[in-house]
Structure 1
Amino acid sequence: MSFKIGMRIPPKIGAQGMESVASWAKSVGLDVVDVPYYNEEVKEIFDRVGIEVGSIDGVGAVGMTKLLSEDEAKRREAVDALNKQISEVAKIGGKTMFICLAPDDISQPRSRSFEIWKETFPEVVAQAEKSDVYFALEGWPGPAPQYPSIGCTPEMLRAMFEAIPSKHFGVNYDPSHLVRLEIDHLRFLSEFGSRVNYCHGKDTEILTDDKYEMGILAATFGNKYDFSEGSWRYTIPGAGDVNWEKVAIRLEGIGYKGPISIELEDHRYWGTLEKEQQGILKAKQHLESIFK
């Protein structure tokens, strides 16, 4: 099976404007672009250029979100905004919404965030079902040392999927997070493959010498690299420890039909437009050798 290859927009590439983003992506052979927002203007650009929209960031649902706030009024406002966005993107053909659920108070225990989520999200997922939109939950654990995000471990995902069995609430499979958390990224697909609604092309290198220095804890005196906590660093696909050949086989086996979308978080390809473009192209080349 041949998978489409896409990208999540890095900052320097994104600063050129959506028209430039779409045109450059098309010119280098990408099939899909993930967007921070989706409206009639973006749809017109993508349709004219001939490139597909991938995942769409959920408004107020990426990062430290008020959807998990202890403040009921803040939660209500966040739910209303997300429900409105679901309806709006569905009207113009949007299908997949990217979310990442950490509380606005990062000291809040994950167990408490889960209880709030159980109260908040049935309504949101009901709106997604009505609109035929699918959520893809990112497994980023959140900032150290709290690691407050929910949905980044099998333990939590089992509880979440038991509470909301709808396939309109699923995961964004990003093996880079699983590798850094020392969770088997292939076994994850065996257990949760039916809930994979999107896939990121990002890798993680375990820095064994640095791991000797601080173990699995974040570095005390600063990191050598950006996109790192000391004993690991995010990389483009092929420069880390993810077994992409086996990932491809398992994605095909579970019937995944979405794209593999490059998320560029590698310090070697960061800081300038030229570096970002180089990183996307190198990542694309590696993924195409496996997924095309």
Structure 2
Amino acid sequence: MRLGMLTACLPEWTLPQIAAWASRAGYEALEVAVWPGTGGRDFEASHLPVAGFGPREVDQTLALFDRHSLGLSALAYYENNLHPDPARREEIRTHLRHAIDAAQALGVPYVGTFVGRDWTRPVADNIAEAERVLPELVDYAGERDVGLVVENCVMEVWHPDGYPGNLAYSPQLWEWVFSLGFRLNWDPSHLLRIGIDPVATIAPYADRIVHAQAKDVEIDASARQRYGFFGRAGDRERPWEAGWWRYRVPGLGEIDWVRVVDRLHERGFTGTLSVEHEDPVWSGDPDRTTRGLRIAHHTLRPLVAG
């Protein structure tokens, strides 16, 4: 198992800056954000120009990672592959193919994405649509020796009423996602906040968990008593602010990282545990963000036998 980090939390920095810092801080691998840089998500970042990725970019990237003794665990483009706007959906699919092509050129084993959802249609219709359009993307990746992995984030931000916007948030849905050919970028924080014990999900799906993200979650039970499970209604400053939970870096939330990492080891996980930093306390500028990443490293480094 390697301890890595997702680069999306440092959109202001270039990939060479991030690689140099991560190596000095003791990280072993990077999960590189490859959004095109044209969207509006807070944690969207563009650290590799995959849409125009030629031999020169390949050589420069491989040399950078070799120079800093880092692995490249995955390329990250987490977007809505079932977007209701056909033009936007095609933009997403096109960029995902660019990410897959770049992964093939670099020898990167995985590209991460979301299943997503058309929030104007019920779940049953989305499942039927996914079965129609998503296997083509899985096949495109497989023909290039790249695996597509989906993260189990709920993505309420994509639904106007705060309902799940990514149909891969529960073990029931994972089994359906696996039937389409995807594998899992497992994140325990999303499980805990929807009432699922993350540790209990490792053993049954260990053969499909090929990449994992390390993000913690802090839960305010008294606020949940006020707002209910679905969260604050009508007065959210940001769509994802439910009022009773927030993401934290590992070690500052409710996740039992000793049990998580031990169970991953027990089940033979040899991939990358990648810190996904979305902690509002340790964010705002690169100095605070990197301090948060150091807290995460301090929590996980004694547990991850690299």
- Which amino acid letter does the alignment assign opposite residue 56 of structure 1? L
* Paired residue type of 1:42: T
Q: Which string of whole-angstrom CA distances, capped at 9 and with x for unpartnered residues, describes residues 258-279 of structure 1?
A: 1111111111101011110110
Query: Using the alignment, how far apart are the partners of 2:174 and 2:22 within structure 1?
Result: 33
What is the CA–CA distance in structure 1 between the aligned matches of 2:301 and 2:98, rounded to whole Å? 36
Secondary structure at 1:102 match in 2:
coil
Contact 1:107 1:148 in 2 (8 A): no
Shift of 1:9: 1.6
Structure 2 counterpart of 1:54: 73
| Aligned residue among 2, 11, 16 for 2:13 | 16
Tell me the residue number matched to 1:26: 23
- C-alpha distance in 2 between matches for 1:96 and 1:159: 19
Q: Structure 2-normalised TM-score? A: 0.82
Match of 2:244 in 1: 231
Normalising by the residue count of structure 1, what TM-score does the alignment of the two structures yield?
Answer: 0.86
Question: Would you say the 8 A contact 1:94–1:133 is kept in 2?
Answer: yes
Between 1:125-134 and 1:82-91, the stretch displaced more is 82-91
Give me the whole-angstrom Cα distance separating, in 1, the residues matched to 2:239 and 2:301.
Answer: 26
Taking the aligned partners of 2:277 and 2:93, their CA distance within structure 1 comes to 29
Looking at structure 1, the residues matched to 236 and 302 of structure 2 have their Cα atoms a distance apart, in angstroms, of 32
Q: Which amino acid aligns with 1:256?
A: F
Distance 1:209 1:287 in 2: 29
Aligned to 1:277: 290
Is 2:155 aligned against 1:110?
Answer: no
Does the Cα contact within 8 Å between 2:232 and 2:241 map onto a contact in 1? no
- Give the superposition deviation at 1:48: 2.6
Do the aligned residues in 1 keep the contact of 2:251 with 2:295 (CA within 8 Å)?
no
Q: Which of 99, 120, 136 does residue 85 from structure 1 map onto?
A: 99
Corresponding residue for residue 152 of structure 1? 169
Identify if the C-alpha distance between structure 1 residues 107 and 256 changes in structure 2 by more than 3 Å, giving closer, same or farther: same
Q: Structure 1 residue 147: deviation in Å?
A: 1.7
**Over aligned residues, Cα RMSD in angstroms?**
2.4
Tell me the CA shift for residue 139 of structure 1: 1.0
Asked whether the equivalents of residues 227 and 234 of structure 1 are also in contact (C-alpha less than 8 Å), the reply is no
Structure 1 residues not aligned, in runs of 5+? none
Letter of the structure 2 residue corresponding to residue 154 of structure 1: P
| 8 Å CA contact 2:112, 2:148 repeated in 1 | yes
Which stretch of structure 1 is more off in the superposition, 264-273 or 129-138?
A: 129-138
Does the Cα contact within 8 Å between 1:110 and 1:149 map onto a contact in 2?
no
Correspondent of 1:133 among 146, 149, 160: 146
Shift in Å, 1:16: 2.3
What is the distance in 1 between the residues matched to 2:238 and 2:165? 23
AA of the residue aligned to 1:110? V
Partners of 2:297 and 2:238 lie apart in 1 by 23
2:303 is paired with a residue whose SS is: helix
- SS of structure 2 residue aligned to 1:229: coil
Secondary structure (helix, strand or coil) at the match of 2:290 reads helix
Identity of aligned residues (%): 24
Matched, 1:4 2:26: no
- Give the direction of change, closer, same or farther, for the CA distance of 1:269–1:81 in structure 2 (3 Å limit): closer
Query: CA separation in 2, counterparts of 1:226 and 1:151?
Result: 19
> Aligned-pair distance for 1:189?
1.1
Q: Aligned in 2, Cα 1:278/1:88: closer, same or farther, shift over 3 Å?
A: closer
- The 3-state SS of whatever aligns with 2:137 is helix
Preserved contact between residue 3 and residue 272 of structure 2 (Cα < 8 Å) = yes
Counterparts in 2 of 1:7 and 1:78: CA distance versus 1, 3 Å: closer
1:226 to 1:44, Cα distance in 2 relative to 1, 3 A: farther
- For residue 72 of structure 1, report the CA deviation from its aligned partner: 6.3
Amino acid at match of 1:257: T
C-alpha contact (below 8 Å) 1:226/1:266 kept by paired residues = no
Question: CA separation of 1:113/1:42 partners in 2, compared to 1, >3 Å: closer, same or farther?
Answer: farther
Match of 1:212 in 2: 225
Q: Secondary structure in 2 aligned to 1:269?
A: coil
Q: Matched residues in 1 for 2:92 and 2:240: separation?
A: 29
